[in-house]
């Protein structure tokens, strides 16, 4: 009998590196993506087409895409904020387009310069363009378990944004605990409500690890039918708006837990640890993965 499977979406090259104080070279970003692909991670967010003025760490994403050519079994996803970003992403040959909205009005206005309604309206031509090009669309919802400005976020607000993203044409909606304040009970209740609204097959989890709860939060939601989870090699990233943010859920730790539960990931853990160790050395700090630290120290 084949073991149940969970797809790990690797977001380190984008969501991880975009929060680094200094940009990582295109050469090193290409090497990171190639290392992750060789480790069996089939869905990798390689960068974003936001303005380099606002996110200089993501300058050169088109070059990264060009130098990591398309291949069977590999999805190279990019984040875009608008039609200009979409055009650049399509020209560079992206395999998947991602758009991002928030469940908090204040966060939406501060982070994307528009209300929730305005941001979603901004994505309508992006969705139409992706559809016309035959490129799948993914949606992110930020602040699903808390906002740095508003505090608690109503579950109904999360459900509303998730439903709107699906209506726009997103085949999948990734639920982001942007500041990492969620706990298992809250994570499960919020995820269950979104699953009831749009179906488990459309839901992915994206939990940051600010308070060390990300793995527990994922575990609390798995039996809701969740089969897609985002993570970042070496625990890269973390929201700059979250005080004391320690990073994303580490891919190495997620894979260790999932495989310990008998769930197939298709990921070579040792290869991911090596990739995380390499990028951590480039960044000049230890890996943020507890699994990697334990295995490397053995």
Cβ count within 10 A of residue 227: 14
Cβ neighbours of residue 90 closer than 8 Å, sequence gap 6 or more: 129, 130, 133, 135
Give the model's pLDDT for residue 1: 45
Mean pLDDT by groups of 10 residues along the chain of 298 residues? 83 93 93 98 97 91 96 97 96 97 96 93 96 98 96 98 98 96 98 98 96 97 98 83 69 98 97 97 94 90
**Rounded Cα gap, residues 206 and 218, in angstroms:** 9
pTM for this predicted structure: 0.96
Cβ neighbours of residue 41 closer than 8 Å, sequence gap 6 or more: 8, 10, 251, 267, 272
Give the model's pLDDT for residue 247: 82
Q: 240 is written with which tokens? A: 């700059």
Give the model's pLDDT for residue 238: 61
Catalytic residue set: 239
Supply the DSSP string of 185-218, one letter for each residue. HHHHHHHHHHHHHH-GGGEEEEEB-TTS-HHHHH
Q: Is the Cβ–Cβ distance between 234 and 252 less than 8 Å?
A: yes
Helix (H, G, I), strand (E, B) or coil at 228: strand
Closest listed residue to residue 233, CA positions, set 291, 284, 276: 276
**Rounded Cα gap, residues 99 and 79, in angstroms:** 6
Closest listed residue to residue 181, CA positions, set 149, 210, 150, 219: 210
> Which domains occur in the chain, in start order?
7-296 (3.20.20.70)
| Residue 69, Cβ density class (10 Å: 0-12 exposed, 13-18 middle, ≥19 buried) | exposed
Q: What is the dihedral of CA 189, 191, 213, 253, to 10 degrees?
A: 150
Q: Is the Cβ–Cβ distance between 75 and 42 less than 8 Å?
A: yes
């Amino acid at each position: 009998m084949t073991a149940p499977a969970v797809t790990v979406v690797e977001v380190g090259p984008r969501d991880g590196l975009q929060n680094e104080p200094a940009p990582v070279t295109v050469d090193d970003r290409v090497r990171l993506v190639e290392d992750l692909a060789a480790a069996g991670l089939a869905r990798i967010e390689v960068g974003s087409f936001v303005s380099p003025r606002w996110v200089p760490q993501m300058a050169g994403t088109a070059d990264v895409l060009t130098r990591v050519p398309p291949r069977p079994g590999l999805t190279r996803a990019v984040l875009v904020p608008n039609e200009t970003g979409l055009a650049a992403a399509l020209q560079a040959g992206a395999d998947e387009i991602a758009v991002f909205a928030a469940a908090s009005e204040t966060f939406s206005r501060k982070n994307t310069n528009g209300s929730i309604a305005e941001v979603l309206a901004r994505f309508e031509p992006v969705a139409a363009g992706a559809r016309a090009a035959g490129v799948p669309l993914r949606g992110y919802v930020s602040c699903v378990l808390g906002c740095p400005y508003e505090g608690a976020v109503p579950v109904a607000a999360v459900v509303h944004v998730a439903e709107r993203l699906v209506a726009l044409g997103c085949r999948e909606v990734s639920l982001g605990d942007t500041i990492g304040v969620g706990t298992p009970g809250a994570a499960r209740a919020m995820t269950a409500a979104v699953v009831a609204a749009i179906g488990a097959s459309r839901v992915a989890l994206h939990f940051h690890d600010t308070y060390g709860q990300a793995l527990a939060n994922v575990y609390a939601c798995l039996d809701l039918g969740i089969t897609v989870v985002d993570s970042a090699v070496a625990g890269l990233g973390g929201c700059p708006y979250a005080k004391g943010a320690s990073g994303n859920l580490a891919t190495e730790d997620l894979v260790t837990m999932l495989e310990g539960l008998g769930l197939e990931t298709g990921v070579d853990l040792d290869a991911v640890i090596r990739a995380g160790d390499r990028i951590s050395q480039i960044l000049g700090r230890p890996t943020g993965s507890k699994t990697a630290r334990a295995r490397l120290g053995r």
